[in-house]
């Protein structure tokens, strides 16, 4: 469990561990340089089998790697400090791995929380822009990271492919799943909701430019490997580069950096995957940047906080 400045959410995460119907697990919490009350909450927890590792801002991938290095169990579960397990998570997810030797990774259905509200929307089932795939998993993984972050996998996966990418800003879980499937491991799904995955303003997953650049880095590595899924990765890479040009163009427009605006939106207008509406909009911004800035300012007048699953989809797509 990697945690950093999650004082508001960590009590819910710890309570979700306490209420598990199956108790045979150890929690390894890596406190990655928290400056709020996170460290105190961890130290005050005496009713869980909990080990705490303290480090100073090494990033999510490196923090997870520290936890992996300290773990000795044959099964390894991912839980961040703002997410939760439902009471039957261990029973169902670990149970699946114990009875199904063909599956090395179990990705359960989870509910979506937006800030403090746990919604009835599900990661896969309710129109969220992801779905589960039993077949051609590697090709589909090139299109989107459909394996939920709150997954559990066999130690054999780490022993075969190595640990998470420790590069700050990396999308370490997507890269990890891709390497696992490339090595021949298979993922399985539990359709019953087993956890809660939280989106919150200011988190890694809501920083759009960083998110898209992380996706591009993963896809560039994937596309360069050749083999199964590489062509799908190249297609996805082209789409993500288009998204990056749009988002960087809007940011330059907001800052009044008009040469960068022109460069970004010319790239959008010329991009083979750009829709007609995107091309027209890009050309209008190139010709009339002041108009584009006015429109952008009007759209940005709404509060920046995530308010609904619709906002989550807007950030993720």
Task: Judge whether residue 301 has pLDDT over 80.
Answer: no
Task: Judge whether residue 211 has pLDDT over 90.
Answer: no
**Is the model more confident about 307 or about 294?**
294
Q: Which of 71-80, 196-205, 211-220, 247-256 has the lowest mean pLDDT?
A: 196-205
Q: What is the pLDDT at residue 234?
A: 95
Q: What's the rounded Cα separation, in Å, for the pair 219 and 149?
A: 18
Task: Judge whether residue 164 has pLDDT over 90.
Answer: yes
pLDDT digits (tens, 9 = 90+) for 237-278: 999 999 999 999 999 998 999 999 999 999 999 999 999 999
**Is the model more confident about 104 or about 118?**
104
Task: Judge whether residue 311 has pLDDT over 50.
Answer: no
292-305 as b/e: b if 16+ CB within 10 A: bbeeeeeeeeeeee
pLDDT band at 126 (very low <50, low <70, confident <90, very high): low
Task: Judge whether residue 106 has pLDDT over 50.
Answer: yes
Q: What is the pLDDT at residue 300?
A: 61
Q: What is the pLDDT at residue 295?
A: 77
Q: What is the pLDDT at residue 173?
A: 94
Q: What's the rounded Cα separation, in Å, for the pair 81 and 178?
A: 24
Q: What's the rounded Cα separation, in Å, for the pair 229 and 76?
A: 26
pLDDT band at 317 (very low <50, low <70, confident <90, very high): very low
Domain boundaries of the chain, sorted by first residue: 2-206, 209-301
Report the percent of the chain where pLDDT is more than 70.
91
Q: What is the pLDDT at residue 168?
A: 79
Q: Which residue has tokens 């799943």?
A: 177
pLDDT band at 293 (very low <50, low <70, confident <90, very high): confident
Task: Judge whether residue 310 has pLDDT over 60.
Answer: no
Q: What's the rounded Cα separation, in Å, for the pair 268 and 296?
A: 17
Q: Mean pLDDT of all residues in the chain?
A: 89
**Is the model more confident about 168 or about 190?**
190
pLDDT band at 231 (very low <50, low <70, confident <90, very high): very high
pLDDT digits (tens, 9 = 90+) for 75-102: 999 999 999 999 999 999 999 999 999 9
What is the dotted CATH code of the domain comprising 2-206? 3.90.550.10
How much is the pTM?
0.88
Q: What is the pLDDT at residue 207?
A: 77
Question: CA 111, 140, 61: angle at the middle one, nearest 5?
Answer: 65
């Amino acid at each position: 469990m990697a945690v950093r400045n999650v004082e508001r959410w960590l009590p819910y995460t710890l309570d979700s561990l306490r209420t598990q119907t199956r108790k045979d697990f150890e929690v390894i919490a890596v406190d990655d340089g928290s400056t709020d009350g996170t460290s105190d909450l961890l130290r005050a927890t005496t009713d869980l089998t909990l080990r705490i590792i303290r480090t100073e801002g090494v990033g999510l991938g490196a923090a997870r790697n520290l936890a992996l290095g300290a773990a000795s169990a044959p099964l390894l579960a991912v839980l961040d400090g703002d997410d939760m397990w439902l009471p039957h998570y261990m029973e169902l997810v670990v149970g699946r791995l114990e009875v199904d030797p063909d599956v090395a990774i179990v990705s359960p259905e989870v509910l979506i929380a937006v800030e403090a509200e746990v919604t009835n929307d599900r990661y896969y089932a309710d129109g969220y822009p992801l779905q589960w795939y039993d077949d051609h998993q590697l090709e589909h993984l090139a299109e989107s990271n459909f394996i939920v972050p709150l997954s559990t996998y066999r130690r054999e996966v780490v022993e075969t492919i190595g640990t998470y990418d420790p590069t700050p800003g990396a999308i370490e879980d997507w890269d990890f799943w891709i390497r696992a499937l490339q090595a021949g491991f298979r993922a399985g799904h539990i359709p019953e909701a087993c956890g809660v995955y939280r989106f919150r303003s200011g988190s890694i997953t809501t920083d759009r430019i960083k998110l898209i650049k992380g996706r591009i880095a993963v896809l560039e590595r994937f596309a360069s490997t050749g083999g199964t899924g590489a062509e799908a990765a190249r297609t996805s890479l082209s789409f993500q580069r288009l998204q990056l040009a749009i988002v960087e163009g809007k940011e330059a427009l907001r800052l009044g950096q008009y040469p960068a605006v022109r460069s970004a939106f010319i790239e959008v207008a010329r991009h083979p995957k750009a829709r007609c509406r995107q091309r027209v909009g890009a050309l209008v911004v190139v010709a009339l940047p002041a108009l584009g800035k006015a429109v952008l300012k009007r759209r940005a007048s709404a509060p920046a906080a995530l308010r609904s699953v619709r906002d989550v989809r807007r950030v993720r797509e």
